[in-house]
């Protein structure tokens, strides 16, 4: 069973360190203070050149909500083309309707536009009006969605361990299985607690992989080593 530690990066220096310190994949974003938005063409180009790690490019044009209008959708389509042009491995995307349901119409367009790119549906899931219903909708797209990035519905994934455990076990039973990518609040100091409860393979780490626990500091080799050690064991 493959095991993976995905790390958030924002620039080429981050990308080099992520590779050197043992990360398996990078999620490339801009504006992390806004929760992560689409990186610029220049930024994603330099990041892909700087590291051999797979790069998952955020496709999120604004932070106002996960509801998108026609101009937003046109921008997202173009950004997906950019992801292909620069050699990204995949995209990170999520969208809801005004009623808080998964926007399946837009999701199906994105699935068509992405071609061979991998697709992670991001934590827009946490904003759904009914998270269990939303999970079941995403589950039905298991052939086309590679991963769901989720905290299980709480600010910290540590507060949703029972739900995450249930979803992880469910995803492993699916014929065309997709992975649950556990993220939000994962750190080197609590990864053992996560693993004791979940015995999982795929984690997403942001500030928890940073030297001082925030994005103004660099990636920390020791923290990444601890995270990897627990995931591999």
pTM: 0.96
Distances (CA, A) of 120 to 6, 25, 109, 145, 202: 12, 12, 15, 6, 12
Is domain 4-232 annotated with CATH 3.20.20.380? yes
Can you say whether the dihedral through the CA atoms of 152, 158, 159, 165 is positive or negative?
positive
Element (H, E) at 175: none
Q: List, for residues 68-80, the tens digit of each pLDDT value.
A: 999 999 999 999 9
**Residue 62: pLDDT band by 50, 70, 90 thresholds?**
very high
Find the DSSP H helices in the chain.
12-20, 41-50, 70-86, 104-114, 131-139, 161-173, 191-198, 221-232
Q: How many percent of the chain have pLDDT more than 70? A: 98
Tokens 């909500």 -> residue: 65
The span from the CA of 89 to the CA of 118, in Å, is 6
Across the range 60-64, mean pLDDT stands at 97
3-state DSSP assignment of residue 82: helix
């Amino acid at each position: 069973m493959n095991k993976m530690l995905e790390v958030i990066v924002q620039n080429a220096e981050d990308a080099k360190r992520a590779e050197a310190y043992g990360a398996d994949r990078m999620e490339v974003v801009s504006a992390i203070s806004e929760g992560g938005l689409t990186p610029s063409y220049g930024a994603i180009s330099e990041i892909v050149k700087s590291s051999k790690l797979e790069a998952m490019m955020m496709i999120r044009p604004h932070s106002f909500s996960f509801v998108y209008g026609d101009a937003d959708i046109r921008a997202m389509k173009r950004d997906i083309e950019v992801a292909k042009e620069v050699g990204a491995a995949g995209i990170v995307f999520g969208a809801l309707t005004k009623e808080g349901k998964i926007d399946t119409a837009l999701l199906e367009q994105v699935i068509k536009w992405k071609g061979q790119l991998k697709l992670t549906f991001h934590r827009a899931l946490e904003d759904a009006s009914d998270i269990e219903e939303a999970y079941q909708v995403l589950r039905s797209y298991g052939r086309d969605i590679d991963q769901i990035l989720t905290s299980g519905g709480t600010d910290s994934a540590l507060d949703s361990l029972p739900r995450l455990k249930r979803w992880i076990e469910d995803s492993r039973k699916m014929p065309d299985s997709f992975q649950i990518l556990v993220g939000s609040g994962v750190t080197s100091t609590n990864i053992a607690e996560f693993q004791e409860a979940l015995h999982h393979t795929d984690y997403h780490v942001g500030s928890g992989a940073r030297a001082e626990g925030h994005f103004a500091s660099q990636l920390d080799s020791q923290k990444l080593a601890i995270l990897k050690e627990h995931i591999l064991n």
